[in-house]
């Protein structure tokens, strides 16, 4: 287990606190499973990730809650210290590698925000141009075609590197998600969550850990 401390400053309202709490919990749920070798992730979790991200349908809070609920109790995210004064802080504890990856992704957004936004737009265009924004669950990879799959895989490495993933971690995420299509949607979701915490830093309300 490890901890991350976020310095807080400026004027916070309840919406800011709720957004930070939700984003941290969601991001941690994803990174907890990404940080584990795919062969050690329970099959039902792998199936859920593959199915939900494959179709491109709306991924609601119920799916995110299921991912988090599957995290072992002794590895779940907990607040170990908090001070609401400005300046203040919030310090959370969880699985070391998951916290490390979440912190690096948020910081990467701050540093490479413009590049990552361009990549997200590029990914949206990819799904739109190939007419795979919504994919019926029974449609196979073979039906989509090798060229499209190869392009999705290349985009995984582009957006993954923008989130501070190394090549081995990106390969593992593709294996976890079951296909480059599902992995690409998952990486886009992670980028959007990193954007939330990154935007709080840009607003002077939060300082992401540097280490």
Q: Give 58's pLDDT tier (boundaries 50, 70, 90).
A: low
Sheet with 88-94: strands ordered across: 78-83, 88-94, 2-8, 206-207
pLDDT value for 211: 59
The confidence score (pLDDT) of residue 127 equals 95
Q: What is the pLDDT of residue 113?
A: 87
Q: Would you say 50 and 177 are in contact if contact means Cβ atoms under 8 Å apart? A: yes
Average pLDDT score over residue span 91-113: 90
pTM for the model:
0.89
Q: Decide: 165 and 138 in contact? Cβ < 8 Å.
A: no
Asked which of 13-27, 28-42, 108-122, 150-164 is least confident by mean pLDDT, the reply is 13-27
If one compares 17 and 118, the residue with the highest pLDDT of the two is 118
Instruction: Give me the mean pLDDT over the 176-180 stretch.
Output: 95
């Amino acid at each position: 287990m490890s901890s991350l401390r976020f310095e807080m400053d400026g004027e916070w309202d309840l919406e800011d606190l709720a957004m930070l709490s939700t984003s941290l919990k969601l991001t941690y749920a994803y990174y907890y499973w990404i940080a584990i070798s795919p062969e050690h992730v329970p099959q039902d979790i792998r199936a859920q990730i593959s199915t939900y991200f494959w179709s491109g349908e709306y991924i609601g809070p119920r799916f995110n809650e299921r991912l988090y609920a599957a995290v072992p109790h002794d590895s779940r995210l907990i607040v170990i210290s908090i001070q609401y004064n400005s300046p203040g802080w919030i310090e959370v504890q969880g699985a070391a590698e998951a916290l490390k990856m979440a912190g690096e992704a948020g910081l990467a957004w701050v540093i490479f925000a413009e590049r990552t936004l361009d990549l997200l737009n590029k990914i949206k265009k990819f799904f739109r141009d190939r007419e795979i924004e919504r994919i019926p669950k029974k449609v196979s990879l073979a039906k989509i075609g090798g060229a499209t799959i190869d392009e999705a895989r290349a985009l995984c490495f582009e957006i993954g590197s923008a989130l501070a993933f190394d090549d081995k971690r990106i390969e593992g995420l593709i294996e976890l998600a079951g296909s480059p299509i599902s992995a690409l949607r998952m990486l886009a979701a992670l980028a959007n969550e990193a954007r939330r915490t990154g935007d709080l830093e840009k607003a002077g309300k939060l300082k992401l850990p540097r280490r």
